[in-house]
Amino acid sequence: MKLSVRSQGPLSGTVRPPGDKSISHRAAILSAVAEGVSRIEGFLECDDCLSTAEALQDLGVNVEPIGVNTLEVRGAGFGAFREPKSTIDMGNSGTGMRLLMGLVAGIPMEVTFTGDESLSRRPMDRIAEPLEMMGASVEGRGERVTPPVTVSGGDLKGITYHPPMASAQVKSAVLLAGLSAEGETRVVEPAASRDHTERMLKAMGADIEVDDLEITLHPGSKLRAGSLGVPADISSGAFLLAAGLLVDDSEVFVREVLLNPTRTGFLEALEQMEAKLEVSARKEVSGEPVGTIRAVTSDLRAGEFGGELIPRMIDEIPLLAVLATQAEGTTLIRDAGELRVKETDRLRAMARLLSAMGADVTEHDDGLKITGPTKLRGAVVDAERDHRVAMSAVIAGFIATGETVIEGAECIDTSFPGFVQKLQELGAEHIKEEE
């Protein structure tokens, strides 16, 4: 599927992005471990999260949709899981695969996970290392343990693990394995990463302590089933906010969006760039802070972004690169080498995409240098099977001269089903889908 985009007139209105992708994965998985029936409202019905839900069904868990964006999970503890009859296909869901590897590592069975062409290139060695330290066996292709990957679970021992990078997926896989391990499981991070797993474990009754960058999970607690609400996804909402910031004479409100401090790095970067943002209607949903964000057209200033900020906005960096093309001065993004092992090499993909549209962009080993402002021009670009690259291209097309055609745009459904419709609700007229 292709998307054809032209420059837009003013955008205005209030929209709610779909449910948070990271929280949807975790809500389904932890509900499967809990004892009793859990109702998950606001569950993101995108390809990735549905792959996780289907994988849980393959593992013997009763998972049923009971309404729009609502999932019912009947958990019965680790004893209810069964060995799947065949390989579990995770599609493009790297998060789902990594978290489920941790989950099954403590169960005495053998599970093989596979995925699409993109996921089959993504390394799982960073998950395999701590799981094997705990006592599981993990086999994949090559030194980087790329899928298909087989986890042989069993009796695990709790460990203290110091991951080499700040990664919520690594941390969560270790904590999920720790739920069935003997003794304490401790993760000491080099920098803060998303803490949704810790928050949800605590809310469901786990004996877990968080002391700055050190998380300790004590054994023995059973997780409680219950009702879980999933806030709107800040990573999806970021694209709607960016449209409001870049398109002339626009005012966009994005409501009930997640404001977890481990996910607000993008908002902090925008503040540094002097973007006009306001947050209101703050409240809590299932232990997570949410609010409404207002974005109006802004004259942006360049900035330098790296260090501890990067893990807190890792998914928004492709979009930040688009915003940087319209900022006064030179923007430097560094310490973002993690982007080279996402759905595609996002640093290279964004450098190629923005260069094709006339931007002044230089690719570095761990980031990008972008000098602006530059008047972008329409181009035919390839999404490279990456949903965030595709959506970033759409926002760039909104401010480019001429037509921008994004090939392979069907990948957007991986994280943001209804993306085009949300933009149209805000008044975007010059965007259409083509076969």
With tokens 């626009």, the residue in question is 250
Q: What is the DSSP letter of 197?
A: H
Cα separation, 317 vs 270, in Å, equals 11
| Residue in this structure with the two tokens 């729009």, named with its chain if needed | 68
C-alpha 72/C-alpha 32 separation (Å) is 10
Residue closest to 112 by CA, chosen among 86, 140, 142, 150? 150
Distance CA 127, CA 102 (A): 8
Is 335 a residue of the active site? no
Cis before 148 (ω within 30): yes
How many whole angstroms separate alpha carbon 81 and alpha carbon 75?
9
Q: What are phi and psi of 195, to 5 degrees?
A: -110, 25
Question: Which pair of structure tokens corresponds to residue 298?
Answer: 């802004």
- Cα–Cα distance for residue pair 389/336, rounded to 1 Å: 15
Catalytic-labelled residue, pool 47, 48, 89, 315: 315
Q: Is 385 left (phi over 0), alpha (psi -120 to 50) or beta?
A: left
The catalytic site residues sit at: 315
